[in-house]
């Protein structure tokens, strides 16, 4: 009997812990995931729709009811937000709301806007007319009155509308402070631009999907995401967040090893990390060398050395006489595009049909450099290899195609001219 009384408190404690964990996991969780890739009036984005597919599986595994929306226009985006807030309201104040948006985002006058795929923005005033105010989205969640909301904006990519107005020239999003009971996270720090990534997902979405599955509260999760993205992009991208959460929300449970906790908080306590944040944008080699000497064993010392190397003056290439002669001959060719359907393309990349995303990425890369590139289906041209997407300029007449190849090779070294008929 005495032994039974000694065991009882241990059993009771274990049951209480188990009950507490089940209570946390039993909380109602609803996620709205929006990925806009197929923009109609600007170059499409390769990864947001893929990012949403990736995260949808993660959130479902974590017990969320998921509202998954891809390539939504203005009306459908408004409806998605309406449906999401209605579900939060129906499930009561203990419900956790999570919003993830990937796609184009703009700031005008310090206000952030989420851009639907059908937005036709020609001037600054069009942004508020055709886009969704992120502050209004946050206010809608506050009005629901649930205790905890998380908003993640993976929408800080290059601004494709900046040519329309000087007011749109600034990259990245403006800072938003999280109201009580909420956390706002950005794929990169305010005013900066995030990378879309070389694979089917962005560096940020990959890190978010992975870290959400690991134990720890949501603040620790976002710190681990920050550390992962910063390392993967070699310091070019630093995710940022603002939190006013009261209490604790642990997507995958709060029980983690001491190593989990230390890795999540290391970026805050690490003096090298704090120092790097103050000098990472410096273009003074002396400051960067001083940092590398002071923190020689830190992750950021290597970033500093890379930046120092990038700041070194480069020798200008001398154009040989033969090259000058070729350029001179090119300049004498006709410089106006033929009004008739030409026979020759300047080809700057060929991709299998399964690699459509890579072909689109090459087109965007070239257009960013002022090259009038587009994509064609090689099946439509007898002299081209079937079954590919070709990134091209043209069609032109032969002489003009040869002339344009010089410009193309500034961006793609192996650009070549090919008859397309």
Place of tokens 């390392």: 231
Q: Looking at residue 413, what is its pLDDT?
A: 81
Q: Looking at residue 333, what is its pLDDT?
A: 42
Structural domains in the chain, CATH included, are 18-269 (3.40.50.1460), 271-314 (no CATH), 321-419 (3.30.70.1070)
Q: Looking at residue 77, what is its pLDDT?
A: 95
Q: Looking at residue 172, what is its pLDDT?
A: 67
Q: Which residue has the higher pLDDT, 197 or 179?
A: 179
Distances (CA, A) of 366 to 229, 327, 372: 26, 21, 7
Confidence class for position 15, pLDDT limits 50, 70, 90:
very low
Residues 327-341, buried b or exposed e (16+ Cβ, 10 A)? eeebeeeeeeebeee
Per-residue pLDDT of 75-131, as tens digits, reads: 999 999 999 999 999 998 999 999 999 998 888 877 889 999 999 888 888 888 999
Q: Looking at residue 137, what is its pLDDT?
A: 86
Q: Which residue has the higher pLDDT, 342 or 260?
A: 342
Q: Looking at residue 74, what is its pLDDT?
A: 95
Q: Catalogue the E-assigned strands of 284-369.
A: 344-352
Strands 111-114 and 29-35: unpaired
Peptide linkage before 395 cis (omega within 30 of 0): yes
Q: Looking at residue 368, what is its pLDDT?
A: 83
Per-residue pLDDT of 38-82, as tens digits, reads: 999 887 888 899 999 999 999 999 999 999 999 999 999 999 999
Per-residue pLDDT of 313-352, as tens digits, reads: 765 545 444 455 445 444 444 444 343 445 788 999 888 8
Per-residue pLDDT of 287-315, as tens digits, reads: 888 888 888 877 677 778 778 877 877 65
Q: Looking at residue 277, what is its pLDDT?
A: 76
Q: What are phi and psi of 212, to 5 degrees?
A: -60, -25
Q: Looking at residue 157, what is its pLDDT?
A: 55
Q: For all residues of the chain together, what is the average pLDDT?
A: 78
H/E stretch holding 419: strand 416-419
CB 271 within 8 A of CB 279: no
CB 182 within 8 A of CB 149: yes
Per-residue pLDDT of 137-158, as tens digits, reads: 888 888 888 989 999 998 865 5
Helix, coil or strand: residue 327: helix
Round to whole Å and give the CA distance between 23 and 19.
6
Q: Which residue has the higher pLDDT, 286 or 149?
A: 149
């Amino acid at each position: 009997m005495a032994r039974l009384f000694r065991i009882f408190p241990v059993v009771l404690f274990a049951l209480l812990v188990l009950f507490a964990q089940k209570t946390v996991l039993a909380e109602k969780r609803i996620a709205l995931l929006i990925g806009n890739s197929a923009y109609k009036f600007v170059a499409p984005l390769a990864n947001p729709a893929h990012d949403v597919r990736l995260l949808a599986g993660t959130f479902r595994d974590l017990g969320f009811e998921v509202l998954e929306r891809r390539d939504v226009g203005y009306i459908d985006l408004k409806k998605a937000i309406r449906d999401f807030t209605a579900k939060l309201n129906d499930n009561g104040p203990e419900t956790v709301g999570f919003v993830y948006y990937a796609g184009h985002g703009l700031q005008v006058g310090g206000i952030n806007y989420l851009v639907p795929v059908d937005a036709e923005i020609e001037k600054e005033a069009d942004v508020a007319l055709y886009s969704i105010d992120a502050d209004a989205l946050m206010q809608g969640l506050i009005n629901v009155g649930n205790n905890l909301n998380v908003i993640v904006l993976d929408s800080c990519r290059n601004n494709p509308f900046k040519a329309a107005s000087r007011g749109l020239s600034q990259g990245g999003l403006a800072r938003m402070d999280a109201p009580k009971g909420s956390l706002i996270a950005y794929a990169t720090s305010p005013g900066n631009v995030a990378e879309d990534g070389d694979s089917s997902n962005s560096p940020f979405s990959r890190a978010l999907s992975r870290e959400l599955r690991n134990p720890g509260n949501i603040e620790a999760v976002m710190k681990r995401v920050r550390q992962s993205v910063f390392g993967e992009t070699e310091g070019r991208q630093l995710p940022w967040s603002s939190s006013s959460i009261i209490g604790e929300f642990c997507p995958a449970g709060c029980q983690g090893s001491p190593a989990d906790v230390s890795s999540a908080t290391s970026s805050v306590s690490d003096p090298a990390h704090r120092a790097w944040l103050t000098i990472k944008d410096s273009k003074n080699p002396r400051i960067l060398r001083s940092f590398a000497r002071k923190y020689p064993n830190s992750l950021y010392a290597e970033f500093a050395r890379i930046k120092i190397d990038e700041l070194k003056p480069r020798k200008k290439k001398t154009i040989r006489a033969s090259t000058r002669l070729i350029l001179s001959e090119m300049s004498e060719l006709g410089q106006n595009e033929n009004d008739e359907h030409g026979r020759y393309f300047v080809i700057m990349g060929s991709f299998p049909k399964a690699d459509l995303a890579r072909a689109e990425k090459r087109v965007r890369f070239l257009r960013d450099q002022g090259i009038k590139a587009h994509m064609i289906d090689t099946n439509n041209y007898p002299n081209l290899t079937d079954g590919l997407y070709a990134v091209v300029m043209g069609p032109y007449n032969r002489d003009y195609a040869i002339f344009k190849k010089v410009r193309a090779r500034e961006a793609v070294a192996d650009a070549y001219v090919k008859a397309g008929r």
